[in-house]
Amino acid sequence: MDPKKVLSLIILVIGLFMILVARQEYLVFSSEYNPLFNVSPDSEIKWLFIIGIAAIVGGFTGLIRERII
């Protein structure tokens, strides 16, 4: 298998893992949410979602790159 494809697949898996970790952290955070206090989700959770989505898009693009071109 082409090394670029392997790297793209690894990036895709890391992106999925980051999304799952961010989702788990969000669920833990929301279960501890108290409406008496004005608490918003941590910015770390937002960044995990953003970077995870970017990694998924980048990995998927790397996997299908030669098929399109």
Instruction: Report residue 47 as tokens.
Output: 């960044």
Q: Maximum Cα–Cα distance for the chain, whole Å?
A: 55
Per-domain boundaries in the chain:
3-68
CA–CA separation, 65 and 24 (whole Å): 31
CA–CA separation, 69 and 63 (whole Å): 12
Convert the pLDDT of each residue in 44-67 to its tens digit: 888 899 999 999 999 999 988 876
46 versus 40: the higher-pLDDT residue is 46
pTM: 0.78
